[in-house]
Amino acid sequence: MAETGASPLPPTPSAQPPLSRAEQFIWLTARVLEQRRFAYHFLDGNADAVETALAAYRNTDEGYGHALEPDLRGPVSQPLHTGHALRVLDSIGRCGGQRVERVCRYLTSVSTSDGALPAVRPSQRGYPAAPFVPIVDDPPSDLLATGPVVGLLHRNAVWHAWLFRATDFCWQAVESLEKSHPYEVQAAVAFLDSVPDRPRARVAADRLGRLVREHRLAVLDPGRPEEYPVSAGYAPGEHHFPYDFARTPESLARAWFTDEEMARSLDHLTSEQQEDGGWPIRWRQWAPGTALESRPIVTIGALRTLRAYGRPID
């Protein structure tokens, strides 16, 4: 028999709001940067604290390295790390001024002959990297690396000479896509959502949305994922859903999906929160440490998407 006046048992993790469960996961597992990002987005934290944590990944060439993007290890600056840094700065309203001017100089110095970014430069050789990230001597321009950077610089009204040719590259790459895969489509959306020529962006987005549906790149029924193909080179079960393309209701990609399809995908996103409070990663896990570092990033992204669509998280 329980003692009279005994304290009630604490709620089980699944009975707590998603944000409370995620907070415990963040404090338990996240790097300092993701701890401060979580605090900024959900606990009235300070943008200065986020920027201070991010500065630890910056190199003297004004690029970013040190495994900021967890699947690339080692100290050297890489375009994918630098794009990640710019997304963090954008999310806290600090993507501007001399800080970004210096980053644009780095982008200029590592661009290919057509003015765009490769995904990974050969300086990565000798340091650990995910097996699905090829390291070659003369890497080509890559929409996956260039599109998100160009988009967020335009969104923040950054004007730099680097942007002109990089923007032209993105237009050509997006408008010539006949086949694609989800990560490349996400990069195209990041570009189209912010590039200044809005009529042209809407036309390109409509065409891209038809491609996504025709090639079944988005799982429209989360209850039957086996009916949707996994792209070549992806991990088994590495599917993408409407919310992966339309991170906010304002995205051009939102028009690709019906209200019912979007609601089902958001229900699925909510259900994906794990017992430990974090969200899983779907791509190939090639090292324990990289998976551990990636999950807090994914968790913050999931919470921000749910909140953008008005889903209750606290």
150-189 pLDDT tens trace: 999 999 999 999 999 999 999 999 999 999 999 999 999 9
Please report which helix (H) or strand (E) contains residue 270, including its range: helix 259-271
CA distances from 41 to 8, 15, 313 (A): 31, 23, 13
Residue 13 is which amino acid? Answer: P
User: Would the pLDDT of 81 be above 90?
Assistant: yes
Q: How far apart are CA 49 and CA 32, in angstroms?
A: 10
| pLDDT (0 to 100) of residue 15 | 75
User: Would the pLDDT of 67 be above 90?
Assistant: yes
User: Would the pLDDT of 304 be above 70?
Assistant: yes
Residue 1 is which amino acid? Answer: M
Render the burial of 161-170: b for 16+ CB within 10 Å, e for the rest: ebbebbbebb
Among 14-23, 178-187, 245-254, the minimum mean pLDDT is found in 14-23
Contact status, residue 107 vs residue 48, Cβ threshold 8 Å: no
- Beta-bridge partners for 129: 72
